[in-house]
A and B are shown apart, each in its own frame.
Chain A
């Protein structure tokens, strides 16, 4: 039964990504690269808990062009790689005088306390914002961004979490701009993000 649910959800996620790709191919090409016109479909309001324990909304934390990633800290491998990549892209743009924010949203609120998320994000970039929340808050944020996550329930303490690995480029007013897959390099993320920032400034 669980396997069936998992399969369906994965297919749904795949279909969602496929749809965005299709839209991007059939829309007016954006000189900044692959993007989606139906930007309103990804993102939107959320309420989460910040690194300082305050409840924050999307407008509190997305105050500039920002890379948004969903992951969990009990993840020695993929999440640090992706977070480091995003942080590196932000540092690259800083050298060009461009301001790119980075946000890490935990999909493992049970273990990822405010402190844990703060430590994790500080490890990559001093300005990376780490967000966690109640299971309901996290679920709502994940759904708004069309991301998938599922905790493997084989162990109460050392469980693993399957999760989407795309990173979204979000703008404060206009929302979703594009997404990056995990095989995009820091250079690609920096270059494409810079293109959107320059286009809209």
Chain B
């Protein structure tokens, strides 16, 4: 019985890898930092891995806020410039990291309803190839020791 299962599994795996090229997206460590009570915006961070065989691109994020955008931050001569970008490329076989000081999802219009530790923020990521991917951002305390560059 076990032998048969393994054989079936092997067949299925083979089928999957020989099928048409596809994008397989996995989201890990989706988190947002808690905000002050009167904060107007919060940031979402995560790792996006494409284990498929086709390049993909994150083109949108939907969540229950007045506005949600994908942003990046650039530094020039000590000046931080945060910018709205249209999407994030996630090439086949690669992992793209959204982390503080760089790429992030920005949840805007929190007024009166801050992000609190222990909450989760449900969101839908929209990829060009993989389509919609549901994700839960865990709201965590800001790690004071993790000051990144």
List A residues at the B interface (Cβ < 8 Å): 10, 13-14, 17, 73-78, 80-81, 84-85, 87-88, 111, 113, 115-116, 119-120, 122-123, 148, 154, 157-158, 160, 162-166, 181-183, 185-186
Contacts and interface: CB of A to CB of B under 8 A. Distances in A.
B33 A80 contact: yes
A158 B78 contact: no
Contact of B78 (A88, A123, A182, A185): A182
B42 A73 contact: no
B41 A74 contact: yes
Contact of B75 (A76, A84, A182, A185): A182
Contacts of A157: 109
A175 B67 CA distance: 42
A158 B109 contact: yes
Interface string B66-90: 1100010101111111111000000
Contact of A10 (B36, B38, B77, B109): B77
Given A164-B79, A165-B80, A182-B78, A77 B43 contact: yes
A18 to B, nearest CB: 9
A131 B84 CA distance: 27
A80 B142 contact: yes
A88 B142 CA distance: 12
B79 A122 contact: no
A87 B106 CA distance: 24
B147 interface: yes
A160 B82 contact: yes
Interface in B31-62: 33, 35-43
B82 A75 contact: yes
Given A13-B77, A113-B38, A116-B36, 14 more contacts: A10-B77, A10-B79, A74-B40, A77-B100, A80-B33, A81-B100, A84-B144, A84-B147, A87-B144, A88-B144, A123-B142, A162-B80, A162-B82, A186-B145
B42 A76 contact: yes
Contact of A76 (B81, B104, B148): B104
B80 A88 contact: no
15 contacts: A75-B82, A76-B41, A76-B106, A88-B147, A113-B38, A154-B84, A158-B41, A162-B80, A163-B79, A165-B79, A182-B75, A182-B78, A182-B80, A182-B149, A183-B149
Interface of B: 33, 35-43, 66-67, 71, 73, 75-84, 100-101, 104, 106-109, 142, 144-145, 147-149
Contacts of B107: 76
B18 to A, nearest CB: 42
Residue among A76, A148, A165 having the largest count of chain B Cβ atoms under 10 Å: A76
B73 A78 contact: yes
Given A77-B100, A81-B100, A123-B36, A165 B147 contact: no
A87 B144 CA distance: 9
B115 to A, nearest CB: 9
Contacts of A74: 40-41, 108
B76 A10 contact: yes
A165 B78 contact: yes
